[in-house]
Every structure is written in C-alpha cells, then in structure tokens.
Structure 1
Amino acid sequence: MTARKLTVLAAGLSQPSSTRLLADRLTDAVVARLRDVHGVDVELNIVELRDVAKDVTNNLITGFPSPKLESVIEQVTHADGLIVATPIFSGSYSGMFKSFIDVLDPKSLDGMPVLLGATGGTARHSLAIEHALRPLFSYLHAVAVPTGVYAAAEDWGSTTDSVGALTSRIERAAGELAALVAVSDRSQQIRDPFALDSSFSVTGGFSAA
C-alpha cells in the first residue's frame, strides 16, 4: 500500500512549548493507529511555524513565498491528512497561525482531513476550537474530524483524572483522523498546476465565442 503523507502544523511560540507537546502526542497516536489498525505506512512532516514566521510576513507583504516557505506550503497542501495545533490567545487562534493560513491558496485544503488541536492556560478557552478553528477550516472546505483536542495547563498535571481525560480525547481524535487518512488519495491526485488539462486539444484550434 502506498504510504500516506501526514503533515503536522505546530504554531507554538516558545521552545519547548505545550503546543508542540500536544502536536507530538496527537502525531504519535495517529501514526500508531494508521500502522497498527489500518496497516498504512506514514510519510511524516512536522512544521514549526515559528521557523518560517518571518517568511510568512514577507510573503504577505510581497506576495511571493521564499523557497523555505514554499517547501512548507507544499508539505501542508500536498498531504493526505493534517494535524494542527495552535495556542489560544484572547479566545482565538494565534496571529502567526492565521497569517500562515492566509498565504495558502484558498482551495488548497479542499477535502483535507484535519485534526484540530489547541492549547491554553485555562479551560475557559476550550470552546475556541469550535467557534474559531472549526469555522476557519470549514470555510476552506477541509474535513475536520468531530473530536477537537484542547489542552489546558491543568491537563498536563499529575492527577490521574486530568491526564486520563486528555489521553482519551487524543485517542478518539486520532482514530477519527486515521480512518480518513487511510483511505485518502489526495497526495496522489496533486498534479502540476501548469499542466494542460487532458480535455485541451492542441490540434482542435480555437473557436470564436
């Protein structure tokens, strides 16, 4: 079976960050499900947005991506599935995360299976996945799995209840994304955007409108 391409988009600002920690936990769970349950090999790409933050800003100003940013955009848009994790500031996703989304072609995530993850200092922001992230990816015509995973500061604590609840959400979301990625053929359908459509006839000439 052809390996599936899985890209992870981590928008944490610090290093190390709880956002990257959540992204890694989600990634490990999805990869395990794909390999152990679906028998699918995984080609994994992990993107730290902080590493291309200046490139994203320059792209917004000039309209042209740097080679480094272009490579990241390709890893994201040519994947069979996407895991995103962003910190929540003032009740919504980070500005850096949104800026990266803004440099993507609006149609590039059409049909993309996506697992939505977010982190924050308090559980009060847990609904940000539903009122901010999910509508954003719905607008882009991506297929966000039903279970979003939000991790507050207390979820990384030592109590059995908090750790167990987070683990349960991670496993449920991973199963949902793995099921979609296992049958995805998005990465095989991506073609050269400058290639001629097969319906174009070079011998047919042009007709007047």
Structure 2
Amino acid sequence: MRVVGVSGSLHEPSKTTALIAEILRRVGAHLDVESSLIEVASIGPAFAGALTRDALPPEARDALEQIETADLLVVGTPVYRASYTGLFKHLFDFVEQYALVGRPVLLAATGGGERHALIIEHQLRPLFGFFQALTLPLGVYASTSDFDGYVLREGSVSERIDLALERALPILSHGGRETPSDRISTW
C-alpha cells in the first residue's frame, strides 16, 4: 500500500509535519506500506506562482503524481486565519478533479488552541468531498499544548491517532485499489 502524507505547513520545522509523520509511522505499524511525505514548506516556492498545471516545475508535478496515485492520503494543515494555508489549497487546486474519487483520506490539523479543532469538519472535509474522496471517520487535531517543541506528547492526541486508525483499518485493509474509471459512478 502506498501512503502519501501532505503537510500544509509553511514552516520547517513544523508541528503539522511532525503530526503527519507520526500518523504515517503508526499506519506503517499496522499495515505493510511504502510511505512518503510531501511538505508544502519545501515545494511551495516551486509552484506558488504557477497558474496552470503545465507551468509547474518537475518537483511539483512529482508531488501531484504521488498524491493522485496514493492508496491512502494523510493530509494536514495548520489553522491559518480559520482555514487551511493558501499554499496547501493551491497544491490541491492542481490535483485532477477525479483522481481522488473513492480514495481514503485521513484528515489532520494543528492549531494554537482547541477552538480551531473544527477545521477538520468545516474546511478539510468539504475540500475532499469536492474530490469525492473517502474521508475517514475520525480526523486528528492537535493544539500547541500537545507538543513538546516539535515532538507529539503522549496523551489524548496520541490516543486519538490510535482510535482514528482503529476505525480506519477495516476500510484500509478491505482490498485492492480501484482505478479512477472504476470509482467514477455514472448516473
């Protein structure tokens, strides 16, 4: 199973990237996976000025190919002005509209406090709903107090990751990957 993590953080190091990396590690503890992590902070300057997919440099096109062909996506963003970061959204603006149909996506976010936790339900779930992706039942939100520097502390968020994966494993271990044409339903 190919698992791709996407961190929408604009900074390195990043709590969001640390959270995504921890989720990827734990997915790998349950399933046989090949994982990779795409960091917007690293590739953002390469695609920030592009207006069309054809104008993207090779590293941005490679990131898109990884996203579009993953068996599972683990995506996360810091809360920035009550939403995801602009470059995170800009990256997903280039994803082909039907490439993620039926694809399992585990949603995650980080923020300064608990009041930002609804970003998962009010911003991320609708974004991936547009793509007709299969957003997994539980998302993972971590606030600044859940970290020691850039290391996730043991506690409620760690337990939330375990619960999110427990609920996702039946879906993830269900079987083979469909092709995009298999997943697009016709009316």
Class of the TM-score when normalised by the shorter of the 2 chains: 0.7 to 0.9
**Which of the numbers 2, 6, 9 marks the counterpart of 2:3?**
6
Give 1:199's aligned residue.
Answer: none
| Alpha-carbon distance in structure 2 between the residues aligned to 1:70 and 1:179 | 32
Question: Which protein is bigger by CA-based radius of gyration?
Answer: 1
Offset of residue 181 of structure 1: 2.7
Distance 2:5 2:89 in 1: 15
- Partner residue, 1:126: 117
1:110-121 equivalent positions in 2, closer than 5 A: 110-121=101-112
Partner of residue 14 from structure 2, selected from 8, 17, 20: 17
Give every structure 1 segment of 4 or more consecutive aligned residues whose post-TM-superposition deviation is greater than 4 Å: none
Q: Is structure 2 residue 8 aligned with structure 1 residue 47?
A: no
Moved more, 139-148 or 63-72: 63-72
Q: Structure 2: 5+ residue runs without aligned partners?
A: 182-187
1:7-56 CA deviation, whole Å, 9 max, x = no partner?
Answer: 1111122211100111111111111121xxxxxx2111111112221232
Which residue of structure 2 lines up, in the alignment, with residue 93 of structure 1? 84
TM-score normalised per structure 1: 0.78
Task: State the match for 1:189 in structure 2.
Answer: 179
Structure 1 letter corresponding to 2:129: S
Q: Please state how far the C-alpha of 1:115 moved relative to its aligned partner.
A: 0.4
CA RMSD of aligned residues (A): 2.1
CA distance in 2, matches of 1:150, 1:19: 10
Label 1:163 to 1:77 Cα distance change in 2 as closer, same or farther (>3 A).
same
Alignment partners' CA distance in 1, 2:113 and 2:75: 19
8 Å CA contact 1:59–1:103 kept in 2: the answer is: no
What is the percentage of aligned positions where both structures have the same residue? Answer: 34
Match of residue 154, structure 1, among 131, 145, 156? 145
TM-score between both structures, scaled by the size of structure 2: 0.87
**How far did residue 156 of structure 1 move?**
2.0
Q: Aligned partners of 1:174 and 1:104: how far apart in 2?
A: 25
Deviation of the 1:189 alpha carbon: 3.1
Could you list the runs of 5+ residues in structure 1 that have no partner in the other structure? Answer: 35-40, 192-209
Instruction: Give the aligned partner of residue 68 of structure 2.
Output: 77
Say which of 123, 126, 150 aligns to 1:135: 126
Partners of 1:123 and 1:130 in 2: how far apart? 14
Whole-Å Cα distance in 1 between the matches of residues 169 and 64 of structure 2? 22
Aligned in 2, Cα 1:61/1:54: closer, same or farther, shift over 3 Å? farther
Equivalent pair of 2:43/2:59 in contact (CA under 8 Å): yes
Q: Residue 115 of structure 1 contacts residue 148 of structure 1 at CA under 8 Å; is this kept in 2?
A: yes
Q: How does 1:23-42 map to 2 (within 5 A)?
A: 23-34=20-31, 41-42=32-33
Alignment CA distance shift 1:184-1:85 (3 Å): farther
